[in-house]
Amino acid sequence: QLPTGLYKKILVILHDSVLPYMNEPTLMMDFLTVAYGIGGAISLLALNGLFILIHQHNLEYPDFYKKLYSLLDPSIYHVKYRARFFHLTDLFLSSSHLPAYLVAAFIKRLSRLALTAPPEALLMIIPFICNLFRRHPACRVLVHRPGGPADMSEDPYVMEEEEPSKSRALESSLWEIQSLQNHYHPDVAKAAAVLNQSLSEMEDDISGLLELSAYELFDKEVKKKAVDVPLEFEQVRGLFGKKNDIFAEHFSLD
């Protein structure tokens, strides 16, 4: 057992400063699989090393996607390693051989957690979900289900289920994204409205959105040119601006 701080320091540099220089990177299999099972930020950081071993050294991890699914909790949109996690998750979900129930479970869980996510995370996750629909057309039933949420007395999706195959995600509807179409941030509402139309074949490039911060979002809004909006339809008269007001007879605003 290693201290949490030491785990993080090792895992941050392991994939690019250690594994490429080892004669047998497979010796790190046990260490990385144990780290992946710890949970929280340590599991997120272990993904980089595991990806290299799975992709280049034929590591088999039967419960890999089940564990990846369990890592999706409300904190995932707030952690420091968010960009790294979603970059790797995008790679892991890029295979066209993944079953529809698994991808649908990821889409539903990400959408449900998006209801409490900050705007900068939403501007990244909505195109992320759209890309999953493009890769896996069988999941589009979540959007184009006849009647949609209106015909459902309750959502059949089981959020607490740890096994994606038992979450009943494919029986559900993506009402969460429909809710985000009324989001207070106009860019989020606009991004969520894309699912009302037919998606283009070309995937959205999310690389520039992975590290989008609240500061950048705020700075962008501040730099927008202000548009003069008329707030009064009638010229103000008197102190309170009412017609036939006794104050309007004796007082005026210069």
* From 68-82, 86-100, 159-173, 197-211, the region with the lowest mean pLDDT: 197-211
Supply 7's token pair.
């785990």
Q: Please compute the mean of the pLDDT values over residues 164-191 and round it to a whole number.
A: 90
Across the chain, mean pLDDT equals 83
Q: Would you say residue 111 lies in a domain?
A: yes
Q: Would you say residue 6 lies in a domain?
A: no
Q: Please compute the mean of the pLDDT values over residues 44-55 and round it to a whole number.
A: 85
Q: Would you say residue 3 lies in a domain?
A: no
Q: Of 35-39, 76-80, 101-105, 202-206, give the range with the top mean pLDDT.
A: 101-105
CB atoms within 10 A of CB 203: 17
- Tell whether the model's pLDDT for residue 112 goes beyond 90: yes
- Tell whether the model's pLDDT for residue 254 goes beyond 70: no
Distance separating alpha carbons of residues 91 and 85, to the nearest angstrom: 10
Q: Would you say residue 182 lies in a domain?
A: yes
Q: Would you say residue 194 lies in a domain?
A: yes
Under DSSP, is residue 187 helix (H, G, I), strand (E, B) or coil? helix
Distance separating alpha carbons of residues 26 and 30, to the nearest angstrom: 9
Q: Would you say residue 24 lies in a domain?
A: no
Domains of the chain: total: 1
Q: Would you say residue 195 lies in a domain?
A: yes
Angle, CA of 18, 24 and 25, to the nearest 5°: 45
Q: Would you say residue 35 lies in a domain?
A: no
pLDDT band for position 150 (cuts 50, 70, 90):
low
- Per residue in 78-96, pLDDT (tens digit) is 888 888 888 888 888 888 7
- Tell whether the model's pLDDT for residue 140 goes beyond 80: yes
- What's this model's pTM, rounded to 2 decimal places? 0.76
Q: E strands along the chain, which residues?
A: none
Higher pLDDT, 31 or 233: 31
Task: State residue 142's pLDDT score.
Answer: 87
- Tell whether the model's pLDDT for residue 111 goes beyond 90: yes
Residue 218 sits in which domain range? 98-251
